[in-house]
Chains A and B, each alone.
Chain A
């Protein structure tokens, strides 16, 4: 991953600022370069059978909870379960910056958000090229809508992600390394009308759907 791979607009969106200019812009360049150097992106995915049941939907035999994920996979016979992580050195880099320079820490955090997105986008491109489905629903993660975050551990287990890419889940369902994502993408021969789309999973305060996001507010 190089700085050129990352979207500056997205970084600035995560940072909730227009281009700051002057030395802060330079600092952001440095942070972008440092993050790309530290990141060791790892990904894993599986294409799994989807079954719609009376109570909802299962993915590779795992019942997924909530109406939103079931709607998101309407009509899909298969779906991709994917996970991506920037790996432990990125967490360490941000931790150090939190002690030496909070401005850098906040910048690195924003760049990491954009970097995870980039890694997922790349993986998605790779997957789309490999399978003969014309339509894919957006990446939908545990914690979106009423798809509970408490299923994070099940998803990681289903991918054997801790063994395969070093991705673990804490008892409170946080992914560690912190800069990581899991997501489900429906695969379909028809457009999926009911597919959900909202939430980048990252930056709630800045989100245009903030006010009526069903994910938050418990």
Chain B
């Protein structure tokens, strides 16, 4: 029997709860039973097969090497035993699915487990299951979409078995990590799951509306495996009877569900009852078309009206961004991501291509950093297939890949990646002969790209075409050819269209006017995905006005919401800007905008270093002294530091635009939260203050391996390393880091801090200094750098 044959049936019955049936004693590990009491496990499978289950799940839900670590049970061994137990128990009357549950840890952005570690653990499970003869792989009770993706990829890349995936949602229609049903459905279908659905957490009553929602987002066979109702809060018992449970199932069938089973609290009696109930029924019809959309792990963006792709995360022509990439300064990228999100972008383009950068290493890091601060879907923008693949692997959701073009080499390398990872793709209408002048030729290349993509199995609605904006100054027919091509792609092929809008005005005066006007014209001609700067004057206004006028904005609600306060003064900055305010005063009073403005003015008369030494630092010293004497408190201190930071931002911008200008940096310092530790707010405060004092801070982030800190210190000839740890369990990693530094780079000083440290303990682990707070770290830095 195989899964595809089973799918020919109107309904396919799965099994019910395993834990429920095993009647585990406290502390008993179900996966151990595969090795110690196989007959106890076999009896459960047999009972389900007798009740009519055609697919039984092996007793391997928690048989993940990461979960079994320290239990003395070997994952692969337990899995092989479990699959064989199930096969023998059902003896051909049912398929055996290798059951895979979550690792119990979270991946980024919510957690710290790496994608690779999760993938590796699932690979071990999949290989063991396939070797033992499992007929399919089932990944269930998943909450984290990226972890689910790791499991699906491990199954697809290491077995030939069909992969079924069910995730678990809470009452609000999202998983614990915030993944909506739509994002789960489109991502899993894109990754090549054979069927998807919902299991656990809730009973059939609560899951039914979610199932109806999921049915809209996928064409795949649907799976429902609810709990036996909600558990009693006191006893933990589930309250639905098999008949009550089965009574809900015709409604599930109505919305198109084909695979039925149960989760916590369900037994063979439930499966038998469901079978009886559905006996003479048929599945409801499914929608023929899925909505066009892309998503992150926590947000779905419907492509039902013009959506803005923010273009700011791209070093082309941006010195400050280039510098940030070369410095590994991910906070700069995060900042750009947040500003664009707040300005109204729907999707963010991410491009890190600049000389001196290893894109395949940096693009996934940038993607991860950006996903920490925005939930917008991303457009992965690179011409390097290795970089695209690295980013595609660790992206939670369905991204856009920018781009493929009509050249054979590009089609051959990029499209298979897009298919494998279930992304959407932007096709550029150019080929070996360059960019054609005429709309007709561009349309033909676009059509060719579409045909190739569809032939590979990429859904048509996931192919977007970029008919290329040529600079208006290079020929008067350029813009109209582009617009004609956009219109034809939109109308004749029915595809999403992409254009980099601001190229149009290159080399001309009053660029904002040209950009806005062209954007309007392009949207009128069917442009649906403008790539643009959402902060540029008038651009978002134009998009909002277009959406309203073209009938996409019901009751003009979005437009009114965006502009109803436009007449009133903007939410006032806390400060009264007064004429007599000095830069020192702005910093002392924590006035960010004023500090930036006054720094700009000061740069016309003073060298950057003089501003730092004679204005910023004395001001910070005043605040620092007031803090130490208890005159001001943490909020005021940080506020002043933030104002100084905005002053530094201006100085940095000034320096990158004047290469060879004098350098305000007083020396390099590394800060890091040690391996295993994920609390980094304290470390971030320290970094902020150190930067304020003119130090060049290399922030390695949190959970940083000891050797990485040492290597970075050596390669940058850093004189001082600051380490933070908040847990008694991670102070060991701090000690280890200091030890390695002593061995490999003894001239480097160390300063440590964090809630669980004391001066004595710092000394005991070999640190040169214990800093009780950020100010103390600065004081120590001053002594190290001999000021």
Contact = CB atoms under 8 A, between A and B. Distances in A.
Interface of A: 15-18, 20, 22-24, 26-28, 40, 42, 46-47, 60-62, 87-89, 91-92, 94-96, 98-103, 105-107, 109, 130, 143, 149-150, 162-163, 165-166, 168-174, 176-178, 204-205, 216-218
22 contacts: A15-B633, A17-B633, A17-B634, A20-B636, A62-B27, A92-B178, A98-B681, A98-B684, A99-B338, A100-B335, A102-B638, A102-B688, A103-B590, A103-B635, A107-B635, A149-B727, A149-B728, A166-B170, A171-B676, A172-B676, A172-B727, A218-B731
A60 to B, nearest CB: 6
Contacts of A174: 676-679, 727, 729
A173 B733 CA distance: 14
Contacts of A91: 110
A27 B642 CA distance: 14
B176 A166 contact: yes
Interface in B20-52: 25-27
Nearest to B754: A204
A60 B25 CA distance: 10
Contacts of B141: 163
B567 interface: no
Given A16-B633, A172-B733, 17 more contacts: A17-B633, A17-B634, A24-B639, A60-B26, A87-B176, A88-B110, A88-B177, A99-B335, A166-B143, A168-B106, A170-B678, A173-B729, A174-B677, A174-B729, A217-B758, A217-B760, A217-B761
B729 A17 contact: no
Contacts of A176: 105-106, 110-112, 678
B373 interface: yes
B200 interface: yes
Given A103-B590, A143-B728, A170 B373 contact: no
B641 interface: yes
Contacts of A24: 635-636, 639
Contacts of B375: 92
A165 B176 contact: yes
What are the 8 tightest A-B residue pairs by CB atom distance, in nearest-first order? A166-B176, A17-B633, A172-B676, A61-B26, A23-B574, A99-B334, A172-B729, A204-B755
A168 B755 contact: no
Contacts of B629: none
A61 to B, nearest CB: 3
Nearest to A105: B681
B321 to A, nearest CB: 15
B729 A150 contact: yes
A173 B176 contact: no
B628 interface: no
A60 B633 CA distance: 45
Contact of A172 (B335, B680, B688, B730): B730
The B contact surface, by secondary structure, is loop
A168 B635 contact: no
Contacts of A87: 176
B279 to A, nearest CB: 33
B633 A20 contact: yes
Given A98-B681, A105-B681, A106-B685, A162 B104 contact: yes
A17 to B, nearest CB: 3
Nearest to A91: B110
**How many B residues touch the partner, as a band?**
35 or more
Contacts of B234: 47, 130
Nearest to A28: B635
Contacts of A149: 727-729
B131 interface: no
Contacts of A18: 633
Contacts of A150: 729
B634 A15 contact: yes
Contacts of A22: 574
Contact of A163 (B200, B636, B731, B733): B200
Nearest to A49: B26
A162 B105 CA distance: 8
B756 interface: yes
A178 B334 contact: no
B678 A178 contact: yes
Interface centre among A16, A109, A149, A174 (most CB of B within 10 A): A174
B568 interface: no
A3 B260 CA distance: 44
B635 A177 contact: no
A155 B200 CA distance: 21
Contact of B236 (A46, A88, A162, A171): A46
B102 interface: yes
B331 A88 contact: no
A26 B676 CA distance: 36
A18 B635 CA distance: 10
Contacts of A26: 574
B739 to A, nearest CB: 17
B574 A168 contact: no
B338 A96 contact: yes
Interface string B731-752: 1010000000000000000000
Given A166-B143, A172-B730, A176-B110, A99 B331 contact: yes
Contacts of A46: 236
Contacts of A171: 105, 676
B715 interface: no
B109 interface: yes
Contact of B642 (A15, A101, A218): A101
Interface centre among A87, A88, A91 (most CB of B within 10 A): A88
B433 interface: no
B172 interface: yes
Contacts of B760: 217
Interface in B685-713: 685, 688
Contacts of B763: none
Given A20-B636, A24-B635, A168-B105, A216 B728 contact: yes
B491 interface: no
B621 interface: no
Contacts of A177: 110
A62 B638 CA distance: 44
B729 A15 contact: no
B688 A205 contact: no
Contacts of B633: 15-18, 20
B109 A95 contact: yes
A87 B106 CA distance: 12
Contacts of B779: none
Nearest to B172: A40
Contact of B27 (A61, A100, A205): A61
A89 B676 contact: no
A175 to B, nearest CB: 10
A97 B385 CA distance: 34
Interface in B31-86: none
B615 to A, nearest CB: 21
Contacts of B175: 166
Contacts of B635: 15, 17, 20, 24, 27-28, 103, 106-107
A85 to B, nearest CB: 9
B679 A99 contact: no
Contacts of B373: 92, 95-96, 99
A107 B645 CA distance: 18
B761 to A, nearest CB: 6
